[in-house]
Amino acid sequence: MKALSPSGDNSTRQVFYMANIWYNPIMITGQKPHKITVDIPQDVWEAVRDLAKEHQRSFTKELIWALQEYVRRERRASRRTSDEV
């Protein structure tokens, strides 16, 4: 795939530069994404949508963040439980 290059005035170049900073690190993780279809209850969907707006993320990115946070917390709790035994 051919890389895009900035053209136009200075503000266009700045936007292009910022888009590359935000976009490329996500795409270069080396992890192949898994695509799924999920039925989400309306109240949960609305809550995630509202949080995404507050955090200035897309709905999908907010959902991914929430799932990652859940996994982190569960792993911490599991470690604490195993340390207590």
Query: Tens of pLDDT along 13-22?
Result: 666 555 554 5
- What mean pLDDT comes out for the span 53-69? 94
Distance, in Å, from the CA atom of 63 to the CA atom of 55, rounded to the nearest integer, reads 12
Structure confidence at residue 1 as a pLDDT band (50, 70, 90): very low
Looking at per-residue pLDDT, the higher value among 38 and 32 belongs to 38
* Nearby residues of 12 by Cβ (< 8 Å), 6 or more positions away: 6
| pLDDT number for residue 39 | 94
43 exposure class (CB count in 10 Å sphere: 0-12, 13-18, 19+): exposed
Structure confidence at residue 65 as a pLDDT band (50, 70, 90): very high
Assess whether pLDDT exceeds 50 at residue 84: yes
